[in-house]
Chains A and B, each alone.
Chain A
Amino acid sequence: MRALALLTVILTGIILLYGTQDMPKWADPGSPASIHVSPRYLERTLEETATPNAVTSVLADYRGYDTLGETTVIFTAGISCILILRIRRTQKRKNA
C-alpha cells in the first residue's frame, strides 16, 4: 500500500516535471501571466481607484466580489466548526 502511494506520487511528479518544459522562464517580463490583464491594473490604479498599492486596489476594487466570496468561506468554515464540535456534546448530554 505504501509502495503504491510512493509510485503514484513519483509518477505525478514525473508528469509535472515533464510539463515544466513549456512553462515560461522564471521572472520573465513577457510571460503570459504578466501581459494579459495585470498591466491595465498597474497603469489605471491611480486614476480609477486613487490607491497607489495595486494589490489593495485589485483586492478591494477590481475583484471585490472575490473578497466577498472569501468572507463567505470564512463564515461557512466558522459555522461548520461550531456545528461539528457541538453535535457530540449534545448527544453525550442526552445519553447521560
Chain B
Amino acid sequence: MLDFILSKYNYWIYIILMMIGFYAMIGKKNLVKKIIGINIFQTAIILFFISTAAKSGGTLPIIEHGQGHGAHAIEAASYVNPLPHVLMLTAIVVMVSTLGVALAIVIAIYRRYNSLEEDEILEKRKWPRNLLF
C-alpha cells in the first residue's frame, strides 16, 4: 500500500492541480480568472509530461565527455528521457501564445462592454435595444 502511494502520488498532485484550474475555467465568472485557470490547467499537464521523463538513477540528458573523445558506449538508462522535455518546451510556447491572444480578446471585450464579469456581459447582450450597437 505504501509502495502504491509512493509510486503514484505525483500523478495525484497533478490531478489536484488540474482540478483547481478546471474549476477556475468553468466555475468563475471573471474572464481574467478563467484565463488564470487555463494556465494552471496547462501547468498541470506540463508537470505530468515532465514526470514521465524521470528515470531513477538517471542524470541530465547531456552526454558526458561528448566533445573531443572517441566513440564510447552510451547507456540510455543512465540519462533521463529527453523527449518529454522537448515536447513540453513546445507546449510552453503554445501556452504563452494562447495567453497572449486570450488577454488581447479580453481587452477587446472590456473596451466594448466595460466589464470583465461574464454575467454582466451576457446581460448587456441580452437586452434587445443593445443588440445592434
Residues of A within 8 A of B (CB): 2, 5-6, 8-10, 12-13, 16-17, 20-21, 23-29, 31, 33-34, 37-39, 41-43, 45-47, 51-55, 58-59, 63, 66-67, 70, 73-74, 76-78, 80-81, 84-85, 87-88
A53 and B59 alpha carbons, distance in the complex (Å): 12
In the complex, which residues of chain A have a beta carbon less than 8 angstroms from the beta carbon of B83?
A: 33, 37-38, 41, 58
Interface size for B (C-beta < 8 A) is 55
A74 to B92, CA, bound (A): 11
CA distance A47 to B63 in the complex (A): 12
Q: Are A77 and B107 in contact (CB under 8 A)?
A: no
Q: SS class of chain B's interface: helix, strand, loop or mixed?
A: helix
Q: In the complex the two chains form, is A77's CB within 8 Å of B61's CB?
A: no
Minimum C-beta distance from B29 to chain A (A):
9
Which residues in A have their C-beta under 8 angstroms from that of B81?
Answer: 33-34, 38
Query: How many Å lie between the Cα of A54 and that of B97 in the bound state?
Result: 26
Find the residue from A27, A43, A58, A84 having the highest chain B CB count within 10 A: A27
Q: Which residues of B (23-82) have their CB < 8 Å from a CB of A?
A: 23, 26-27, 51-58, 61-64, 66-67, 71, 74, 76-77, 79, 81-82
Residue of B nearest to A39 (CB): B76
- Known interface pairs A13-B19, A59-B89, A84-B101; A27-B108 also in contact (CB < 8 Å): no
Residues on the B chain within 8 Å of A39, using CB: 76
